[in-house]
Amino acid sequence: MEFLGDSAFSALVKKLKPKQNLLAVSKLQPIEKIEILHAKGQKNFAENYIQEAIEKTKVLKNLDIEWHLIGPIQKNKVKLLQNHFAYIHSVDSLELAKKISEKALEIDYIQKVFIQINLAEEATKSGLQKAEFLNQWQQFKGLKGIEVVGLMTMPPLENDAEKNRIYFKELKKLGDQLNLHELSMGTSQDYEVALEEGATWIRIGTMLFGERLKK
């Protein structure tokens, strides 16, 4: 895939209705590509790896970018967090949420987060199982240093996006049930289906930036 065959970005933006947001996933992509996309008007960028992310926020601190963290977070890395991220999408346990909350309170910050739900109950994917999350919801809500704005999911990578529709529907239903209206779902492979099912944040990497470097 060409990097920003220009058309990719404008075509994506055209498909968005109010309340649907494009998150440009820039993990393992060079700074220059972020600068180009930002110059075209993109404000929200997402990274997976805390150290790489923090490095990029420093290098690009003069740009009005809102940074999002979407990758799994090791608990011993939470100490690195300051107010780098507008949103963290990958909170996948109550324990992690508590740590982030404590850290945020320490620096006088309210960290906005999404709770990552593993709807397909795949052993290899991170995310809380739905039942476990429902049991713990009151405890999540009680944490003072975080604000839970919504739910995130990363369904099985199927070449057939239609197969992921049931998971997007399920996340929407769970969000409605708890009055959580932000839904972070859909990647380059299946964002159209995710938008149809109520995504408010689609996370697009490859389609915007081209193939990324290997970690």
Ligand X SMILES: *Cc1c(COP(=O)(O)O)cnc(C)c1O
**Dihedral Cα 86, 89, 90, 92, nearest 10 deg:** 110
Return the axis-axis angle of helices 130-142 and 165-178, rounded to nearest 10°.
Answer: 30
**Smallest distance from the beta carbon of 125 to ligand X, in angstroms?**
10
Residue 117 interacting with ligand X (CB under 6 A): no
Helix (H, G, I), strand (E, B) or coil at 191: helix
The secondary structure of residue 212, as a DSSP letter, is P
Count of residues that bind ligand X according to CB under 6 A: 14
**Which of 77, 105 has the CB closer to ligand X?**
77
What secondary structure letter does DSSP report for 126?
-
User: Which residue stretch of 50-58, 107-115, 122-130, 201-209 sits at the interface with ligand X (rule: CB under 6 A)?
Assistant: 201-209
Q: What are the counts of helices (DSSP H) followed by strands (DSSP E) for the chain?
A: 8, 8
Q: Which stretch binds ligand X (CB under 6 A): 36-44, 100-108, 140-148, 182-190?
A: 182-190
By beta-carbon proximity to ligand X, the closer residue of 53 and 204 is 204
Q: How far is the CB of 98 from ligand X (least distance, A)?
A: 22
Q: How far apart are the first and last CA of the chain?
A: 19
Q: Which residues of the chain form contacts with ligand X (CB under 6 A)?
A: 25, 27, 48, 70-71, 154, 187-189, 203-207
